[in-house]
Amino acid sequence: MSFKNNNNSLALVLPVLFGNERALSNELQKLGLDKKSFSLSDGRALIPTNREKFPADVAFFNLSSRVAERVLLQVASAQVKDFDQLFEAVRSVPWHSYLNRGSAFTVSGYSRNSLLSSVPACQRVIKKAMVVSLLSAQGMPENSTLSENPAKGEHEIQFSLVDDVLSLMIDTSGEPLHKRSYRKKSNLAPLRETTAAALLEYSYLTNVLRHDGVVIDLFTGSGTLIIEAAQIALDLAPGRLRTFAAEELESIGAHTFKEQRRLVKNRDPIIDLKDTSRFWALDIDGQALEHAKANARSAQVEELINFERRDSTNLDLAEVLEQTGGREILFLANPPYGERMQDADEARAMVVRLGRWLAQPLREQKSRISLSLITAEEHFESDFALKAKKTRKLYNGSIACTLYNYY
């Protein structure tokens, strides 16, 4: 058995939704990591750490990542091809160094292209091996009963078995990272915040902002896109308003997160805080705009965003250009589709109307405008009457979508 249980095994694992890998790589580099200091494969980034650094690393990436779905702490990696090897690999981990004494824990995971293909069987073996390891650390016989008290902590252990290579991980996030804690009001099937952040990365938002550009959300809904854009402009840590599972872990603790929260507060905004003309949120639904305003208020960016009740499928570009002072414009759009629009014909008609005033200017590019639009409708380009410069497959939760970029 090839087994590693030392500082070299310790790593942070940041999983992402399909299509968001490139955005996560870009984000990690913006957060100060050298491209060679992490690896990205199988829908997740692997960032090496060590016993001294991992508490601060866990806190930093939970607070700072806009694109990752979670931050997992990998405590061991091993090649396993039978249940005896699996048991020994798990038992050898010093679980008492990571988990609270007497706490409760669950085991979940998946197996792919591996000899040990039964997930329930792997869960049972991993749980049993962890119990033996923890009992041994307490000086108790293997046949003793391990006390698990949720009041002392509830920890989720995740495993992956891919091509017979086992990864053992502790979930440090708890609630997934797309739950930023600012969304107090929501419409049907809102855009996931992590997907919105990836979309904005693929839209070169920071370049637009640094060149004094304006961002206009054409279908604001509950405000996810425009709120995420405003937070990026201010470089506000996306996790600053919420708590994390690792704050309850004695090996990491709330004090570590407190220190990292202090550090991430000292970031410099991209834009002038006094300039309130950079973000516009449009929607024909007045109630949706009220929800978006409430969410922006919770996210601490309400004063940056101009909310207007308007039909974005019937705008006058000349008027928009005049209103924005002729500056570069990034249009964002997450129009209703699927379960958000019960009338499929009306959904298509909406796109046709949008194309009537926006497609030709995008084709001609006489003004500095771009459009990033996400939808699950496969016939979007034909209805909009313009082929995108670039398309990218993304997922909004479980919904397969396409991001269309025009520039």
The fraction of the chain above a pLDDT of 70, given in percent, is: 96
Strand-pairing partners, residue 3, are: 78
Q: Give the list of residues 6+ apart from residue 395 with CB closer than 8 angstroms, or none.
A: 17, 18, 19, 195, 401
Q: How confident is the model at residue 4 (pLDDT cuts 50, 70, 90)?
A: very low
pLDDT at 292 > cutoff 50:
yes
Record the tokens describing residue 256, joined without a space. Answer: 């570590």
Check residue 5 and give its pLDDT: 46
Check residue 8 and give its pLDDT: 65
CB-neighbour burial class of residue 330 (10 A; exposed 0-12, middle 13-18, buried 19+)? buried
Average pLDDT over residues 44-48: 98
pLDDT at 184 > cutoff 60:
yes
Supply the pTM of this predicted model. Answer: 0.94
| Cα(138)–Cα(135) distance, integer angstroms | 5
| Cα(36)–Cα(15) distance, integer angstroms | 18
Residue 325 CA: distances (Å) to CA of 285, 328, 343: 26, 9, 37
CB–CB of 191/224 below 8 Å? yes
| Cα(8)–Cα(203) distance, integer angstroms | 36
Note the maximum CA span of the chain.
79
The H or E element that residue 288 is part of is helix 286-298
Residue 218 CA: distances (Å) to CA of 100, 151, 289, 368, 391: 48, 47, 12, 17, 19
Record the tokens describing residue 147, joined without a space. Answer: 């006390």
CB–CB of 43/16 below 8 Å? yes
Average pLDDT over residues 27-54: 96
Q: Looking at 132-141, 189-198, 308-317, 335-344, which range is the least confident one? A: 335-344
Rounded to 5 degrees, φ, ψ at 152 are -95, 5
CB–CB of 50/10 below 8 Å? yes
Average pLDDT over residues 369-384: 96
Average pLDDT over residues 217-225: 97
| β-pair type (154-162, 104-112) | parallel
pLDDT at 341 > cutoff 80:
no
Check residue 134 and give its pLDDT: 98
CB-neighbour burial class of residue 268 (10 A; exposed 0-12, middle 13-18, buried 19+)? exposed
Check residue 25 and give its pLDDT: 98
Rounded to 5 degrees, φ, ψ at 129 are -65, -35
Nearest Cα to Cα of residue 371 among 333, 340, 335, 338? 333
Indicate the average pLDDT of the chain: 94
CB–CB of 175/94 below 8 Å? no
Check residue 6 and give its pLDDT: 41
279: number of CA atoms within 13 Å, CB side?
Answer: 29
Question: What count of other Cβ atoms lies within 10 Å of the Cβ of residue 234?
Answer: 16
| Cα(382)–Cα(355) distance, integer angstroms | 10
Give per-residue pLDDT as tens, 89-132: 999 999 999 999 999 999 999 999 999 999 999 999 999 999 99
Check residue 9 and give its pLDDT: 83
Q: Looking at 309-323, 334-348, 391-405, which range is the least confident one? A: 334-348
H-type helices in 13-78, by residue range?
A: 21-30, 54-64
Residue type at 185 in one-letter notation = K
Nearest Cα to Cα of residue 203 among 390, 9, 7? 390
Domain edges within the chain? 3-171, 193-238+269-406
CATH class assigned to 3-171: alpha beta
Check residue 347 and give its pLDDT: 87
Q: Give the list of residues 6+ apart from residue 190 with CB closer than 8 angstroms, or none.
A: 183, 221, 222, 224
Q: How confident is the model at residue 189 (pLDDT cuts 50, 70, 90)?
A: low
Question: What count of other Cβ atoms lies within 10 Å of the Cβ of residue 387?
Answer: 12
Check residue 188 and give its pLDDT: 67
Average pLDDT over residues 278-300: 96
Q: Return the CATH number of the domain spanning residue range 193-238+269-406.
A: 3.40.50.150
Q: How far is CA 162 from the centre of its chain?
A: 23
347 vs 7, which has greater pLDDT?
347
Give per-residue pLDDT as tens, 27-37: 999 999 999 99
| β-pair type (369-375, 390-396) | unpaired
